[in-house]
Structure 1
Amino acid sequence: MSTGRNTARFRFGAMSRRAALTGAALAAMGALAACGGDSGGQAAQGDMAKGAPEGAEVTVVEYASVTCGHCAQWQETVWPEFKAKYVDTNKVRFVFREFPTPPAEVAAAGFLLARCAGEDRYFQVIEEIMASQREWQQGISPAATLSRVATSVGLSEDEYRACITDADALAALDERIQAGRAEGVTGTPTFFVNGTRVPDSSLQGLSAAVDAELAK
């Protein structure tokens, strides 16, 4: 996707020096990650998951970014049926891992906002931000989107700004990104089924991999 159309220059606002440095590192790292492009499978610190509990027979891991157009498309066209078939039935544990893509500042702020919303609303926020990518292409700024989403989950403007400039939270996100890169992830969305990368992210491709593991 053309990330240049997705945002004007987005700034976190009044960051502390440490938070600003971390944000700059995220932006630089994001320039190396591509929307559309590898490993992972073991439980990792900070994992957000749905479906079967940890230790399930089958674990599906998605590395994704809220600013990735391919991720948003997968979320809209594949996720509903995949969720109904495997996640809602507790056949698999679905793990979502954050991997910001350009504009990395926007993606990082979106991920921090989702975590500040709480575990019960985390996926709601992720999905809403992804769905809002259409707005950015029409000229609505990502900053306006994030502010609106923050309000929808009950955060005040001050709480929202504190959330996305929290130095410790930014450092923790940075560690999760580094862990993904250490696993060989270079782009999003990237999927693994029980630790094996599945290049075909269609429902058919993922189902084939999941069903093969369930049949063992």
Structure 2
Amino acid sequence: MTTTDHATRRAKAAAVSEAAARRERRRRTVMISACVAAALLLVGGIGFAVQSARTDTSGALVPAGAAGPDGGIVVGSPSAPVTVDVYEDFQCPICRAFEEQTGDTIGSLVDAKKIKVIYHVLAFLGPESERAANAAAAAANEGKFAELHDLLFASQPEEHAGGFQNAELVHLGSRVGLTSPEFVEAVHKGTYDDYVAQVNDAASREGVQGTPTVYVNGERLQTNALTPGGLTAAVTAAG
């Protein structure tokens, strides 16, 4: 056997090994997501109870693209036949796992005009969540919600570690083209904090107790269906 043959075999073996490793990483991510979700339900309930006790926010400034004063941010064609409601917290690690697993699938379904997504950006894990949610609303007001949404999850700090400071959020915004004085001011002043509070309260009234929570045409997906296959099947059935 030649040296070339040996090199080819090693390359094939390495490729097979890497593929197996990727499958194992995906399997572990799904298992971890399922196990942690139950704990997040309890944490979410506490968080929403606190949010529901806020003072009057009826005068909240609502960003462009929001589905009403306490509605989420709409991404996709308004005429899409299926509506997917996604309740997320940018500080929630299981939300990040969900986005890593299903983000491409959601994007493909949006691009194909099969769904429109309403993102309900929540903030129950502390001030880091609130700052990130406010920044996302500010991005929505300039038509760049989806871009910052993805980058915030990709840049997610550890929970309760003081992450998502305003200066960092301004920097992340600049990476997706958000450089206007209005965006910077909204981040630093918490322009959309009251709007975020209203979205939290609305989620509580809807019975959302943890994140991620996903509805397809009003039907809640079970935890084991929060996968590319599960979401696609639900959309197909709803359409």
TM superposition score normalised by structure 1: 0.68
1:145–1:57 distance in 2 versus 1, CA, 3 Å: same
1:102-146 deviation per Cα after TM superposition (whole angstroms, max 9, x unaligned): 1x211111121122233421121121111112x548x89432532
Q: Which has the higher contact order (CA 8 A, sep 6+)?
A: 1
Would you say how many aligned residue pairs link Structure 1 and Structure 2? 173
Give the AA of the match of 1:205.
Answer: G
**178, 194, 208: which is aligned to 2:217?**
194
- 1:100 aligns with 123
- 1:68 aligns with 92
Matched, 1:132 2:175: no
- 2:133 aligns with 111
Matched, 1:213 2:228: no
- 1:47 aligns with 72
> How far 1:193 sits from its partner (Å)?
0.6
- 2:106 aligns with 82
SS of alignment partner, residue 214 of structure 2: strand
Quote the Cα distance in structure 2 between the aligned partners of 1:190 and 1:67.
15
Identity of aligned residues (%): 25
Whose Rg is larger? Answer: 2
Quote the Cα distance in structure 2 between the aligned partners of 1:148 and 1:162.
13
Give the gaps of 5 or more residues in structure 2: 1-32, 37-46, 53-66
SS of alignment partner, residue 74 of structure 1: helix
Quote the Cα distance in structure 2 between the aligned partners of 1:27 and 1:100.
12
> How far 1:26 sits from its partner (Å)?
8.3
SS of alignment partner, residue 204 of structure 1: helix
Quote the Cα distance in structure 2 between the aligned partners of 1:119 and 1:131.
21
1:207–1:162 distance in 2 versus 1, CA, 3 Å: closer
Aligned residues of 2:123 and 2:196 also touching (Cα < 8 A): no
Quote the Cα distance in structure 1 between the aligned partners of 2:227 and 2:151.
21
> How far 1:51 sits from its partner (Å)?
2.1
Aligned residues of 1:61 and 1:97 also touching (Cα < 8 A): yes
Give the gaps of 5 or more residues in structure 1: 3-24, 31-42
Quote the Cα distance in structure 2 between the aligned partners of 1:191 and 1:162.
28
SS of alignment partner, residue 77 of structure 1: helix
SS of alignment partner, residue 143 of structure 2: coil
What RMSD over aligned residues (CA atoms) do the two structures have, in Å? 3.0
Give the AA of the match of 1:70.
Answer: I
Answer 1 or 2: which has greater helix percent: 2
* Residues 113-122 or 200-209, more deviating: 113-122
